[in-house]
């Protein structure tokens, strides 16, 4: 086969992904003088950030003046069951307010308090109302604001393109290569730095709130380039996804429903969450329905309703209720705001939930309860980064947003993701630009790397076999849903690993029909490489952690193990195989430790 | 149509050179939307069927197409709404944009237009580093900011749907909504009126309201964005003194209770 021709686009910094983190990184890198481009799999403005609903957490203190960065720090550490990277959490909590205010500079219009300031709503795990929001379409507001800010800075955007490989030169980043999804044309980006902002990998599970794009490309790219991953076993199943109709299963129902007063009930009509308050959160959780209901308006003398425990706790509770036969007809539980708040309040605060249920399920949430069940929603783990610089362990590689690990520990609090994108997107862009300015001799990728990558991408057009990429994808999603889902156990995960290996064999026999022009079957085949890698790393990391903590729950190790609370599981690819290491979490300074241990 | 029944989807297949409608049989399920049916075809019958989708929840605006001739988001269109008795359901690409392949069109014109809109330019912050705006002032701007950029309004707009030659001098409803969001923002300081008249070509619009009818977000594009912008153009074009007075007093721009500190 002859060499595949390609277009060359040299830049200082290439940002992969155009969600909130990628856009914020590009804005910062460009503002600091780096020649910057963004490459994304979809059209600009369609990335998964657009689906974020509830809000961006930041201790602005607009509604509750008692709220400070320290309280946000504490809530985030405790929500993450203390295996978070404390320095990331510190930077995050301190910088969050300015990052949110900056969005107003660029045109964002958040809902207001009566004083004209940014309003802040209640969410799970947050001591005070803390989420800057726009109804329940906050992600749209943020992505649109960043998108138009970036457009005004003349950053080049390569839409509907997929990066398949990172290029390296003597162990440091030398660029990336990929292809145009519309024409199938091959692209090479010789760059000095790459920012990974590829988001999560929820598509590896059957029921997920994530879009088709969330196939974990960044995980595959990072591993292949030699970067470390961290906490890959920590996958968040959001407590409330739609369960009916079948085509809508997994679509998110915002935590804002509970933040605004909605409660969970089982088939018997009981508010079951009071039965599931863990010891770790007992002192800060309401003991009765009366106290819980008073909390919405008086946070000083009442404690948080158990419906607003961190997501991992609520998810486990729903799982058990359904398992013990107290579920709804379609295998979920009821989320009821109709009997708790007036219709005008619901349609004003939760307009897109109202629209979504009305259009897709024919249910009016101002009149009836929603049926919900946990859905795969977020990956806490990801590329291991330096807390201050967002640098991965490979020189020239940076990572921000959901693809980076460490900030959220074992479980992310709602509202912390949008702020994560802003704080660490900016840091990644800033430090990538800084790194570029220190480079004396430009990295240079060998032609062989580019040719090998092109050959691998095109192989499925001539592969021996007749497997369908969509069948392999569904097979993988079913394996992960069954064996590496909300609850996991050793034997099931061993089975999963065998099946993943078998699916990898099937992938080599996938034959793509049609042309290279906008061919979804071909695109899906490419995505399967990252998806299978993600599945293997998650499963192997999950086998390693023999306890229940945060997003990782095991039926064979139901308790939290204090010793495992002092370690992270780190994965890396060496000579083509994935190796795991158990490493101590960074030592938290005493003054921050005291903040974490303070109650209320 | 009942769940479990088979229906026919007549899907446009082809590229810029040529294309035709192809029939596919799909077994329906409860609550199925058009996008579900298209994906089922892709997974089992036509793996190279090109279409765009992302969120499958009406939030990203990727899956726009013409269902039985009507511009719709396929993810929010239930089969029961559109599948007639015994008649095939037709799904075709948006007509106002050049076809790339099958249901995917080249919407790059919209992204080129986006680059022509001068960015938001706010007044300085208050002395305490905050910005104050009141809910009643921002509500109309928030309506415009609900736009998910599905480009259905652009697709249906008569000015360009049958007259691609107008595209260079006309921004289309989506960008009138964006311009309105900036122009009516309580803190924006730019004068956008000449831009709206000259570059965006608002005079082309003859208020047929087709854009408003297809907006999946229910934005009152014509009444709340285009007509007020047209009024501003008329006011300023014929009466610059009135425009200056408005600017200085803040009437029509921001409430008197919160003049930006710079004024």
ipTM confidence score? 0.95
Residue B255 lies in a domain: no
Buried b (16+ CB within 10 A) or exposed e, A275-300: ebbeeebeebbbeeeebbebbbeebe
Question: What is the CATH topology of the domain spanning A238-374?
Answer: Flavocytochrome C3; Chain A, domain 1 (3.90.700)
A520–B51: do the CB atoms touch at under 8 Å?
A: yes
CB atoms within 10 A of CB A535: 26
Q: Which of B32, B100, B133 sits opposite A112 (nearest CB)?
A: B133
Residue B138 lies in a domain: yes
Q: What is the pLDDT of residue A1?
A: 52
**Residue B253 pLDDT > 70:** no
**Residue B241 pLDDT > 90:** no
Q: What is the pLDDT of residue A600?
A: 52
Do residue B118 and residue B228 come from a single domain?
yes
Q: What is the pLDDT of residue B259?
A: 36
B133–A159: do the CB atoms touch at under 8 Å?
A: no
Do residue B89 and residue B115 come from a single domain?
no
Long-range CB contacts (within 8 A, 24+) of A564-567: A565/A81, A565/A82, A565/A83, A567/A83
What single DSSP character describes residue A586? P
Do residue B192 and residue B114 come from a single domain?
yes
Do residue B84 and residue B152 come from a single domain?
no
Q: Which domain holds residue B29?
A: 6-105
Do residue B243 and residue B176 come from a single domain?
yes
| Closest chain A C-alpha to B114 CA, distance in angstroms | 8
* Burial tier of B189 (Cβ tally within 10 Å: 0-12, 13-18, 19+): middle
Q: What is the pLDDT of residue B257?
A: 37
Residue B257 lies in a domain: no
Do residue B245 and residue B138 come from a single domain?
yes
Output phi, psi for A577, to 5 deg: -120, 150
Q: For chain A, state the CA radius of gyration.
A: 23
Q: Please state the CATH superfamily assignment of the domain spanning residues A6-55+83-98+136-236+377-447 in this structure.
A: FAD/NAD(P)-binding domain (3.50.50.60)
A470–B47: do the CB atoms touch at under 8 Å?
A: yes
Do residue B120 and residue B240 come from a single domain?
yes
Closest CA to A473 of A268, A277, A201, A255: A201
Contacts of B198 by beta carbon, 8 Å cutoff, 6+ apart = none
Do residue B112 and residue B199 come from a single domain?
yes
Mean local confidence (pLDDT), A547-567: 98
Question: Which is catalytic among the residues A249, A311, A488, A516?
Answer: A311
**Residue B255 pLDDT > 70:** no
Residue B49 lies in a domain: yes
Tokens at residue A591, please? Answer: 């003054």
Lowest mean pLDDT among A5-14, A429-438, B85-94: B85-94
Q: How far is CA A253 from the centre of its chain?
A: 16
User: What predicted TM-score, i.e. pTM, was given to this entire model?
Assistant: 0.96
Query: Residue B254's pLDDT band (boundaries 50, 70, 90)?
Result: very low
Percent of chain A with pLDDT over 90: 99
Do residue B147 and residue B234 come from a single domain?
yes
Residue after which a domain boundary falls, among B105, B138, B158: B105
**Residue A104 pLDDT > 80:** yes
Residue after which a domain boundary falls, among B55, B72, B105: B105
Closest CA to B16 of B84, B106, B78: B106
Mean local confidence (pLDDT), A171-188: 97
Average pLDDT of chain B? 91
CATH number of the domain at A452-567, out of 1.20.210.10, 1.20.58.100, 3.30.413.10, 3.40.50.300? 1.20.58.100
- Parallel/antiparallel/unpaired status of strands B64-67 and B89-92: antiparallel
What single DSSP character describes residue B129? S
Q: How far is CA B237 from the centre of its chain?
A: 27
- CA-CA-CA-CA dihedral for A249, A250, A256, A257, to nearest 10: 30
Q: What is the pLDDT of residues B6-44, one digit of tens each?
A: 999 999 999 999 999 999 999 999 999 999 999 999 999
Query: Residue A216's pLDDT band (boundaries 50, 70, 90)?
Result: very high
Closest CA to A59 of A143, A112, A120, A107: A120
Q: Compute the distance between CA of residue B216 and CA of residue B214 in angstroms, rounded to an integer.
A: 6
Tokens at residue B120, please? Answer: 């938001």
- A340 catalytic? Reply is no
**Closest Cα in chain A to B111:** A44
B57–A252: do the CB atoms touch at under 8 Å?
A: yes
Tokens at residue A67, please? Answer: 């709220």
Residue B254 lies in a domain: no
Query: Residue B247's pLDDT band (boundaries 50, 70, 90)?
Result: low
Q: What is the pLDDT of residue A3?
A: 87
Do residue B67 and residue B33 come from a single domain?
yes
Mean local confidence (pLDDT), A40-64: 96
Residue B20 lies in a domain: yes
Query: Residue A428's pLDDT band (boundaries 50, 70, 90)?
Result: very high
Mean local confidence (pLDDT), A2-26: 96
Tokens at residue B209, please? Answer: 């309201």
B138–A109: do the CB atoms touch at under 8 Å?
A: yes
Q: What is the pLDDT of residue B87?
A: 81
- Helix ranges (H only) for A439-548 are 447-458, 469-483, 490-508, 520-544
Q: What is the pLDDT of residue B4?
A: 87
Look-up of token digits 């290029």: A167
Q: What is the pLDDT of residue B3?
A: 84
Tokens at residue A420, please? Answer: 């994560």
Q: What is the pLDDT of residue A419?
A: 98
Mean local confidence (pLDDT), A14-24: 98
Query: Residue B243's pLDDT band (boundaries 50, 70, 90)?
Result: low
Residue after which a domain boundary falls, among B59, B86, B105: B105
Residue B263 lies in a domain: no
- Residue ranges covered by each domain of chain A: 6-55+83-98+136-236+377-447, 238-374, 452-567
**Closest Cα in chain A to B218:** A355
Contact A428, A399 (CB under 8 A): yes
Mean local confidence (pLDDT), A282-309: 96
Dihedral angle sign, alpha carbons of residues A36, A41, A46, A50: negative
Average pLDDT of chain A? 97
Closest CA to A492 of A555, A417, A586, A572: A555
CATH number of the domain enclosing B177? 1.10.1060.10
Q: Compute the distance between CA of residue A114 and CA of residue A97 in angstroms, rounded to an integer.
A: 19
Domain count, chain B: 2
Mean local confidence (pLDDT), A465-474: 95
When scoring B45, B47, B182 by the number of chain A Cβ atoms within 10 A, the one with the most, hence best to mutate, is B47
**Residue B189 pLDDT > 60:** yes
What single DSSP character describes residue B125? P
CATH number of the domain enclosing B64? 3.10.20.30
Contacts of A477 by beta carbon, 8 Å cutoff, 6+ apart = A203, A204, A205, A206
Tokens at residue A273, please? Answer: 């969450």
Do residue B100 and residue B118 come from a single domain?
no
A359–B58: do the CB atoms touch at under 8 Å?
A: yes
Contact A374, A239 (CB under 8 A): yes
Tokens at residue B203, please? Answer: 């005079």
**Residue A334 pLDDT > 80:** yes
Do residue B119 and residue B245 come from a single domain?
yes
Q: What is the pLDDT of residues B129-162, one digit of tens each?
A: 999 999 999 999 999 999 999 999 999 999 999 9
Q: Which of B32, B54, B129 sits opposite A42 (nearest CB)?
A: B54
| Set of chain A residues whose Cβ sits within 8 Å of the Cβ of B47 | 468-470, 512-514, 519-521, 524
């Amino acid at each position: 086969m002859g060499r595949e021709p390609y277009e060359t686009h040299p830049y200082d910094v290439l940002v992969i992904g155009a969600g909130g983190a990628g856009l914020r990184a590009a804005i910062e890198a460009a503002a600091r003088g780096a020649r910057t481009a963004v490459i994304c799999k979809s059209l600009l403005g369609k990335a998964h950030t657009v689906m974020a609903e509830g809000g961006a957490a930041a201790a602005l203190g607009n509604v509750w003046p008692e709220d400070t960065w320290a309280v946000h720090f504490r809530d985030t550490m405790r929500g993450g069951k203390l295996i978070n990277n404390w320095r990331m959490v510190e930077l995050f909590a301190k910088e969050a307010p300015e990052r949110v205010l900056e969005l107003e500079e660029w045109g964002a219009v958040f809902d207001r308090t009566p004083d004209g300031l940014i309003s802040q709503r209640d969410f799970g795990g947050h001591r005070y109302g803390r989420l800057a929001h726009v109804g329940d379409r906050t992600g749209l507001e943020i992505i649109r604001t960043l998108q138009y800010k970036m457009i005004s800075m003349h950053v080049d955007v390569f839409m509907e393109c997929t990066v398949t490989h990172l290029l390296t030169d003597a162990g440091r980043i030398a660029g990336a290569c990929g292809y145009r999804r519309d024409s199938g044309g091959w692209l090479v980006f010789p760059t000095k730095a790459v920012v990974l902002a590829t988001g999560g990998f929820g598509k590896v599970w059957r029921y997920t709130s994530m879009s088709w794009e969330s196939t974990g490309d960044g995980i595959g790219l990072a591993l292949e380039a030699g970067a470390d991953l961290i906490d890959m076993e920590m996958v968040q199943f959001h407590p409330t996804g739609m369960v009916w109709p079948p085509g809508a299963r997994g679509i998110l129902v915002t935590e804002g429903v509970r933040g605004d007063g909605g409660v969970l009930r089982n088939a018997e009509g009981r508010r079951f969450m009071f039965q599931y308050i863990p010891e770790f959160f007992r002192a800060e959780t309401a003991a009765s329905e009366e106290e819980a209901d008073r909390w919405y308006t008086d946070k000083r003398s009442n404690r948080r309703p158990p419906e607003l425990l961190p997501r991992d706790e609520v998810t486990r509770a729903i799982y058990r209720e359904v398992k013990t036969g107290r579920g709804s007809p379609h295998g979920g539980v009821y989320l009821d705001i109709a009997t708790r708040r007036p219709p005008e309040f619901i349609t004003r605060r939760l307009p897109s939930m109202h629209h979504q249920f009305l259009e897709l399920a024919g249910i009016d949430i101002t009149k009836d309860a929603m049926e919900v069940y946990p859905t795969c929603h977020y990956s806490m783990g990801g590329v291991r980064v330096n807390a201050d610089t967002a640098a991965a362990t490979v020189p020239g590689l940076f990572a921000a947003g959901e693809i980076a690990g460490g900030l959220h520990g074992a479980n992310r609090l709602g509202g912390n993701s949008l702020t994560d994108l802003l704080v660490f997107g900016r840091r990644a862009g800033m430090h990538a630009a800084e790194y570029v300015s220190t480079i004396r001799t430009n990295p240079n990728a060998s032609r062989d790397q580019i040719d090998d990558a092109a050959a691998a991408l095109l192989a499925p057009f001539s592969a021996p076999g007749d497997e369908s990429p969509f069948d392999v994808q569904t097979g993988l999603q079913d394996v992960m849903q069954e064996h590496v889902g909300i609850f996991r156990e050793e034997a099931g995960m061993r089975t999963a690993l065998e099946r993943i290996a078998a699916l990898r064999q099937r992938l080599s026999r996938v034959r793509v029909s049609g042309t290279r022009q906008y061919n979804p079957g071909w695109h899906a085949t490419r995505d399967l490489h990252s998806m299978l890698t993600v599945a293997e790393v998650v499963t192997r990391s999950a086998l390693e952690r023999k306890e229940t903590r945060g997003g990782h729950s095991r039926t064979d190790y139901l308790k939290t193990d204090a010793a495992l609370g002092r370690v992270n599981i780190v994965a890396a690819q060496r000579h083509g195989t994935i190796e795991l290491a158990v490493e101590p979490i960074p030592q938290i300074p005493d003054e921050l430790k005291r903040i974490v241990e303070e109650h209320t | 149509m009942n769940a479990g029944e088979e229906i026919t989807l007549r899907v446009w297949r082809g590229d810029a050179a040529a294309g035709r409608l192809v029939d596919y049989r799909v077994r329906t399920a409860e609550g199925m939307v058009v996008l579900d049916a298209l994906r089922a075809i892709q997974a089992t019958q036509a793996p190279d069927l090109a279409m765009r989708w992302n969120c499958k929840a009406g939030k990203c605006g990727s899956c726009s197409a013409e269902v039985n001739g009507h511009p719709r988001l396929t993810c929010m269109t239930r089969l029961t709404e559109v599948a007639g008795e015994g008649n095939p359901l037709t799904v075709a690409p948006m007509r106002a944009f050049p076809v790339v392949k099958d249901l995917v069109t080249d919407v790059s014109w919209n992204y080129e237009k986006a680059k022509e809109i001068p960015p938001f330019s706010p007044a300085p912050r208050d002395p305490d580093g905050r910005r104050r705006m009141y809910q009643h002032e921002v509500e109309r701007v928030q309506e415009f900011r609900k736009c998910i950029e599905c480009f259905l309004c652009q697709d249906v707009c008569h000015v360009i749907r049958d007259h691609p030659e107008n595209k260079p001098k006309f921004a289309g409803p989506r960008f009138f909504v964006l311009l309105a969001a900036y122009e009516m923002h309580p803190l924006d300081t730019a004068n956008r009126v000449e831009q709206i008249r000259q570059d965006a070509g608002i005079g082309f619009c003859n208020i047929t309201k087709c854009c408003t009818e297809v907006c999946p977000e229910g934005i009152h594009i014509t009444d709340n964005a285009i007509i007020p912008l047209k009024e501003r153009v008329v006011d300023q074009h014929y009466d610059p003194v009135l425009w200056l007075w408005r600017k200085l007093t803040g009437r029509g721009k921001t409430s008197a209770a919160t003049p930006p500190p710079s004024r």
